[in-house]
Structure 1
Amino acid sequence: MLKKLLGLTVLATLASCGKEVMPKPSGDLRLEYPKPRYQTFNSACPFQFDYSDFAVIQDAKKPCWYNINYKGMKAKIFITYLPITSDFQTHLKEAERMVYEHTIKATAIDTKSFAYPEKKVYGNFYELQGQTASNIQFYVTDSTKHFLTGNLYFNTRPKPDSLAPAVDYIKKDMLHLIDTFEWKK
């Protein structure tokens, strides 16, 4: 009897040494987006730029404010235009406040300045890392008459890993927008 019990114990021990069953983590779909074709946005406002035909531009709350809507991605770039009267520093501080209010959740904020003196286009491009509500923000100005901001938001809970492909796609569009941005005369 003792031999049988010992034999069963050894057999059970050997049988249990197989691979441990682990549940597979849930995954997100691989997202692929079309190659962008750009078109010029031209309105009665004092600026123009190129944007992707994958997006739709909609009027927003005030004149010369727009939403660049990426419906398939549940994303919007909020474009706000403000004329500069005597309050350039106020606009600049507000744009920076909008970026740095995300420091609570951001793991890093990468800032790149840009200048196109021939077009009188100057500004900063901010890329926010981590679980922030806004992933990318920028402002464009001529520093005398015009000030424009752009803020990217997704209509979903911030999940950096899941949103990374969409953020990268829209980031390229935003950089193209800035590269083609012009003030009208």
Structure 2
Amino acid sequence: MFKNLIITLLGLFTISCAEDAKPKPSGELRLEYPAAKYTRYSSPCGFSFEHSAFAKIENAKNECWYYISYPEMKAKVFITYFPVKNDFALHIKESEKMVYEHTIKASAIDTKSFSYPERKVFGNFYELKGPTASNVQFFVTDSTRHYVTANLYFNSRPKPDSLAPAVDYIKKDLQHLIDTFEWR
């Protein structure tokens, strides 16, 4: 009987031997977002644009400052409006300063200029790559009286690989915002 037990145990040990278990690397969830639908927003500060229906517009501190909030992505686009009063060059320098402060962490900064003369909408769109605090920034102006800036921020540590789907989604929304931007 004891002999049969030993043979059975040896058989089980031989059969049960397999590769050692290896820990799996931690991963992030795959995030999918709804198809883009847009809603027009008219600011009392003299401009309008279309924004994603997936996002909400919230007021910030100032009457002409807004957040476009993406609660499911833990992201906000901070939009500020400034009237231009002989300080146009100062606004441009301030916008560029905000972008290029990220050069310490950014692996690249792609700049695209845009111009819609029929609507008097001009500006630059900046995409910051790498572990930066802000991934997308832009400014819109009519170059004489109005100036709007926008910065995208996530309420999380900057992990470029994990944030890439959300950044791409919001980047497309912001490009649509610029394409539909109008002064009133």
> TM-score with structure 2 length normalisation?
0.88
CA displacement, residues 157-180 of structure 1 (integer Å, 9 cap, x when unaligned) = 000000000000000000000000
1:54 aligns to 2:67 (yes or no): no
Give the corresponding residue for 1:95. Answer: 95
Runs of 4+ residues deviating >2 angstroms: 18-23
Moved more, 117-126 or 21-30: 21-30
User: Shift of residue 20 of structure 1?
Assistant: 6.9
Give the corresponding residue for 1:127. Answer: 127
The residue identity in structure 2 corresponding to 1:101 is: E
User: Shift of residue 120 of structure 1?
Assistant: 0.4
Aligned-partner SS, 2:158: coil
Give the corresponding residue for 1:147. Answer: 147
Give the corresponding residue for 1:156. Answer: 156
Separation in 1, partners of 2:73, 2:90: 33
Separation in 2, partners of 1:20, 1:162: 30
Any stretches of 5+ residues in structure 1 without a counterpart?
1-17
CA displacement, residues 117-144 of structure 1 (integer Å, 9 cap, x when unaligned) = 0000000000000000000000000110
Separation in 1, partners of 2:112, 2:74: 26
Give the corresponding residue for 1:73. Answer: 73
CA displacement, residues 76-103 of structure 1 (integer Å, 9 cap, x when unaligned) = 0000000000100000000000000000
1:39 aligns to 2:43 (yes or no): no
Give the corresponding residue for 2:170. Answer: 170
Separation in 1, partners of 2:105, 2:22: 31
CA RMSD across the alignment: 1.1
CA displacement, residues 3-58 of structure 1 (integer Å, 9 cap, x when unaligned) = xxxxxxxxxxxxxxx86754221111110000121010013111000001100000
Percent identity, aligned pairs only? 68
1:30 aligns to 2:30 (yes or no): yes
Separation in 2, partners of 1:19, 1:109: 46
The residue identity in structure 2 corresponding to 1:26 is: S
Separation in 2, partners of 1:43, 1:94: 23
User: Shift of residue 63 of structure 1?
Assistant: 1.6
Task: State the aligned residue count.
Answer: 167
> TM-score with structure 1 length normalisation?
0.88
The residue identity in structure 2 corresponding to 1:143 is: S
The residue identity in structure 1 corresponding to 2:136 is: I
Give the corresponding residue for 2:85. Answer: 85
Give the corresponding residue for 1:137. Answer: 137
Aligned-partner SS, 2:107: strand
Give the corresponding residue for 1:110. Answer: 110
